[in-house]
């Protein structure tokens, strides 16, 4: 979670000087215990699986996925010119820096622990989290869960341990929501996945405090391909929070995750992300959940960093009375393109959905909202609401909206609103007349614009997101 | 030369926008504890005067000076002027969706009066009593700044800010427009409470004399085509109300 790092690093002038604009952008010397050669082949895929001592069925899926990835062309939509720049041969697909996953921070190797301490993770865990997993490069390095939850049967593990300890649950759900053939990058992830979280919440158990995963890329030209699977059994609930950072290098890194959520009848999953990768990371992520009867899935998705993000959290409303919400914000600064949005499929009757997308572009950045909502012919009395707002901070920045609605059942009630606005001089003057500098005033307007998103976050995250945006506004007034 | 008893001095102020001259040489002096009114028809330069005192970047000051407590304001940005004690109650307050009133007030008080003034029970009491006197409900605190406010709510909110920010100089631009009789009375009480008996001053810019019945000005100035053409006591406002502005043109 870069935002946790923001406070600490900004108080430390030396660190601040070292990292420049991007506050989580320092890097540690790379002390890897296992590093694969650059480039990808079936052999590399098999080696990863072998190294992890995986069951054969997983090796088979990996290999099939790799073949699909090799054959599948690049997407022909989105920012194709940026996508073409990805050099799959110049990426390291597996890197391990620590021999094991620890349950005590003291046992995590010093350099890695220092990284997470700079980002404030151990402190956050003590204060307000039910469990934490921290992933460094390809593997989880630290993992903990509160004892009371463990006693109630909640499973919260890194994905590799999940596969080892609960192979039958993993086998049942793995690739059940997002088949490897879904898209080129889900195929890539399935072929080389490592780390990520595995969560199972038993029937009727409510996990009151959020659980958090923290992903960090440290090495240069690294690919991170974490795989997350969350199963909420009947009537249970969980809030999962994910944060990510990477140091700034002159060459690009690739992050391509797959997240599958299964919300069984009456359950509730909320998945919150604050993505603050450095501006040379490709962030190409597939996230999708299935909601059964009366279940609820919410994606709360903030995209602040990365070079190119393509991410459209999706919900399949399979069970009657289920509900989906996708609330997202995107900030695109210089050289960045946030291509984000949402997908919701109403397959059952009396299902409801809400999409709220907010994007800000500045310094020539580009924000795109790409959304799709469908209602199948058999799904009666569905309600859907889509709102997308864009705020453009200067000339030369760009915002596009690509909304699609396919409604095949006439009983559906659809609402769609879109707005594009600019910060007006009068608005700035009003705030400045109350003693706030131009930058502070702009940050107030920007944070206000993001407020419908921020209020959905746990308070610590909300405060830090506001601070992060205030930092982004620094030096923005010409 | 600003004397000991001069809080604000406007001296031969010429102001233009996009090459058009709007203010053509304005002079004005105000002392602490005084309330002055500037009256005039639409287009006479009233709002320009208010904006220039606050430091709106769109206006070009071609000549003259605006001096607060012996210091020229012209080189300062709006936020610096605010911290020196200038306040503008806007004719059209701007909405800032997502920015909560309570949060905004606390931040504004902190930036103008200092962090310590925006904390603790003293500030909360001050806030509560100001809201009560303006008949603003508590639920107001969680609304967004001017977002979806009625005309009357916007004006009350401006006066609430006046009461909390405690400026040396308050400029009230058409604060009475959009208010009913009760609203004008409530707002006037807020203005009186903030200025009378203090060493601050208020400049009330208005179209009509209604608000001046409740806030007895020490001086009334009439602005016509970018110039102050008449100054006098409160009786001048009554005369304008009865006879309109035409007679001044003839004089």
Domain of A448, in residue numbers: 424-478
- Report the C-alpha dihedral over residues B145, B147, B150, B155, rounded to 10 degrees: 30
Q: Do A427 and B98 lie within an 8 Å CB cutoff?
A: no
Residues of chain A above pLDDT 90, percent: 58
- Residues 132 through 191 of chain B touching chain A, CB cutoff 8 Å: 144-145, 161, 165
Contact between A24 and A245 under an 8 Å Cβ cutoff? The reply is: yes
CA-based nearest residue in chain A for residue B162: A434
Q: pLDDT tens for residues B224-249?
A: 999 999 999 989 988 888 888 877 77
Higher per-residue confidence, A114 vs A320 = A320
Q: pLDDT tens for residues B129-157?
A: 999 999 999 999 999 999 999 999 999 99
The bridge status of strand B20-30 relative to strand B8-17 is: antiparallel
- B215 Cβ contact partners less than 8 Å away, ≥ 6 residues apart: B35, B188, B191, B192, B202, B204
Q: Indicate whether A379 pLDDT > 50.
A: yes
Chain A partners of B79 at a C-beta cutoff of 8 Å?
432-438, 440-441
Q: pLDDT tens for residues B155-202?
A: 999 999 999 999 999 999 999 888 888 889 988 998 998 898 899 999
Q: Does residue A341 form part of some domain?
A: no
Q: Does residue A354 form part of some domain?
A: no
Q: Do A434 and B90 lie within an 8 Å CB cutoff?
A: no
Domain boundary among A311, A343, A366: A311
Least confident piece of the model among A362-366, A463-467, B243-247: A463-467
Helix (H) or strand (E) holding A338: strand A337-346
CA distance B126 to B124: 5
Same domain for A24 and A172, yes or no, is yes
Q: Does residue A338 form part of some domain?
A: no
Q: pLDDT tens for residues B7-32?
A: 999 999 999 998 899 999 999 999 99
Q: Do A434 and B82 lie within an 8 Å CB cutoff?
A: yes
Same domain for A443 and A303, yes or no, is no
Integer angstrom CA distances of residue A294 from A234, A300, A379, A383:
10, 19, 14, 14
Nearest Cα to Cα of residue A286 among A325, A343, A222, A231: A343
Domain boundary among A277, A294, A311: A311
Q: Does residue A387 form part of some domain?
A: no
Torsional sign, CA A50, A55, A60, A66: negative
DSSP code for A129: -
What chain B holds in terms of domains, given with CATH numbers, is: 8-250 (3.40.50.300)
Domain boundary among A311, A341, A364: A311
pLDDT computed for residue A13 by the predictor: 33
Contact between A210 and A272 under an 8 Å Cβ cutoff? The reply is: yes
Minimal C-alpha gap between A448 and chain B (Å): 4
Residue A31 CB neighbour total at 10 angstroms: 13
CA-based nearest residue in chain B for residue A435: B79
CA-based nearest residue in chain A for residue B113: A435
Give the mean model confidence (pLDDT) for residues A75-94.
90
In terms of C-beta density within 10 A (0-12 exposed, 13-18 middle, 19 or more buried), how is residue A406 classed? exposed
Q: Does residue A364 form part of some domain?
A: no
Contact between A337 and A307 under an 8 Å Cβ cutoff? The reply is: yes
How many structural domains comprise chain A? 2
Write down the H helix ranges in A52-179: 56-71, 80-84, 110-118, 121-128, 147-151, 159-165, 167-173
* 3-state SS assignment for residue A275: strand
Give the mean model confidence (pLDDT) for residues A131-138.
73
- A258 Cβ contact partners less than 8 Å away, ≥ 6 residues apart: A178, A186, A189, A190, A193, A227, A228, A285, A286, A287
pLDDT computed for residue A6 by the predictor: 25
Give the mean model confidence (pLDDT) for residues A123-138.
68
CA distance A146 to A175: 28
Higher per-residue confidence, B20 vs A114 = B20
CA distance A251 to A298: 34
Give the mean model confidence (pLDDT) for residues A140-169.
86
Residues in chain B: 251
Q: Does residue A406 form part of some domain?
A: no
Minimal C-alpha gap between A213 and chain B (Å): 29
pLDDT computed for residue B80 by the predictor: 98
Q: Indicate whether A107 pLDDT > 80.
A: no
Same domain for A75 and A199, yes or no, is yes
Q: pLDDT tens for residues A409-418?
A: 999 999 999 9
Q: Does residue A227 form part of some domain?
A: yes
pLDDT computed for residue A130 by the predictor: 66
Torsional sign, CA A410, A412, A415, A416: negative
Q: Does residue A57 form part of some domain?
A: yes
Least confident piece of the model among A403-407, B20-24, B87-91, B179-183: B179-183
Q: Indicate whether A20 pLDDT > 60.
A: no
Q: Does B104 touch chain A (CB under 8 A)?
A: yes
Q: Indicate whether A355 pLDDT > 60.
A: yes
Minimal C-alpha gap between B11 and chain A (Å): 22
Average pLDDT over all residues of chain A = 85
> Look-up: residue for tokens 């086998």?
A171
């Amino acid at each position: 979670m870069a935002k946790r790092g923001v406070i600490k690093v900004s108080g430390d002038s030396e660190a601040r000087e070292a990292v420049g604009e991007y506050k989580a952008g320092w890097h540690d010397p790379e002390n890897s215990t296992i590093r694969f050669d650059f480039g990808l082949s079936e052999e590399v895929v098999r080696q990863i699986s072998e190294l992890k001592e995986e069951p054969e069925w997983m090796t088979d899926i990996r290999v099939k996925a790799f073949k699909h990835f090799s054959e599948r062309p690049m997407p022909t939509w989105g920012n194709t010119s940026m996508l073409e720049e990805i050099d799959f041969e110049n990426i390291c697909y597996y890197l391990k820096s620590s021999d094991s996953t620890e349950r005590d921070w003291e046992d995590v190797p010093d350099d890695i622990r220092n990284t997470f301490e700079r980002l404030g993770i151990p402190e956050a865990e003590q204060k307000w989290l039910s469990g934490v997993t921290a992933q460094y490069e390809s593997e989880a390095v630290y993992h903990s869960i509160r004892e009371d939850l463990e006693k109630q049967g909640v499973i919260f593990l890194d994905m590799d341990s999940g596969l080892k300890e609960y192979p039958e649950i993993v086998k049942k759900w793995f690739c059940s929501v997002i088949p490897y053939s879904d898209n080129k990058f889900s195929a890539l992830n399935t072929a080389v996945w490592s780390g990520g979280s595995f969560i199972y919440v038993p029937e009727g158990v409510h996990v009151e405090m959020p659980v958090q995963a923290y992903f960090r890329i440290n090495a240069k030209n690294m690919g991170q391909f974490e795989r997350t699977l969350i199963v909420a059994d009947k009537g249970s609930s969980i809030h999962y929070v994910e944060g990510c950072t990477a140091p700034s290098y002159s060459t690009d890194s690739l992050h391509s995750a797959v997240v599958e959520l299964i919300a069984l009848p009456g359950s509730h999953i909320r998945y919150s992300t604050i993505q603050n990768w450095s501006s040379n990371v490709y962030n190409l992520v597939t996230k999708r959940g299935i909601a059964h009867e009366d279940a609820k899935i919410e994606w709360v998705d903030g995209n602040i960093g990365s070079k190119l993000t393509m991410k459209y959290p999706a919900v399949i409303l399979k069970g009657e009375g289920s509900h989906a919400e996708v609330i997202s914000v995107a900030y695109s600064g210089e050289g960045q393109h946030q291509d984000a949005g949402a997908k919701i499929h109403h397959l059952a009757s009396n299902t409801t959905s809400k999409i709220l997308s907010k994007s800000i572009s500045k310094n020539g950045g580009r924000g795109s909202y790409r959304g799709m909502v469908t209602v199948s012919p058999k799904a009666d009395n569905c309600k859907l609401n889509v709102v997308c707002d864009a705020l453009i901070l200067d000339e030369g920045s760009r915002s596009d909206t690509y909304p699609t609605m396919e409604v095949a059942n006439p009983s559906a009630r659809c609402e769609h609103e879109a707005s594009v606005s600019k910060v007006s001089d009068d608005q700035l003057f009003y705030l400045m007349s109350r003693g706030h500098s131009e930058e502070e005033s702009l940050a107030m307007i920007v944070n206000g614009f993001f407020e419908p998103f921020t209020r959905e976050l746990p308070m610590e995250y909300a405060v830090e997101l506001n601070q992060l945006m205030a930092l982004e506004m620094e030096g923005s007034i010409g | 030369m600003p004397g000991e008893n001069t809080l604000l001095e406007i001296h031969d102020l010429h102001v233009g926008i996009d090459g058009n001259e709007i203010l053509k040489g304005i002079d004005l002096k105000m002392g602490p504890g005084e309330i002055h009114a500037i009256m005039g028809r639409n287009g006479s330069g009233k709002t320009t005067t208010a904006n220039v005192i606050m430091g709106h970047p769109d206006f070009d000051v071609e000549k003259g000076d605006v001096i607060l407590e012996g210091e020229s304001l012209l080189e300062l940005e709006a936020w610096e002027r605010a911290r020196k004690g200038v306040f503008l109650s806007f004719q059209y307050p701007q909405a800032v969706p997502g920015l909560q009133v309570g949060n905004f007030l606390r931040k504004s008080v902190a930036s103008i009066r200092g962090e310590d003034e925006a904390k603790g029970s003293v500030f909360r009491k001050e806030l509560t009593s100001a809201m009560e006197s303006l008949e603003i409900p508590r639920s107001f605190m969680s609304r967004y700044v001017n977002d979806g406010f009625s005309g009357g709510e916007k004006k009350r909110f401006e006066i609430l800010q006046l009461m909390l920010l405690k400026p040396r100089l308050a400029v009230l631009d058409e604060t009475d427009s959009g208010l009913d009789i009760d609203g004008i009375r409530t707002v006037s009480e807020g203005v009186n409470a903030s200025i009378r008996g203090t060493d601050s001053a208020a400049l009330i810019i208005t179209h009509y004399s209604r608000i001046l019945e409740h806030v007895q000005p020490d001086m009334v100035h009439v602005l016509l085509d970018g110039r102050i053409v008449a100054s006098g006591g409160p009786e001048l406002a009554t005369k304008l109300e009865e006879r309109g502005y035409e007679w001044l043109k003839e004089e």
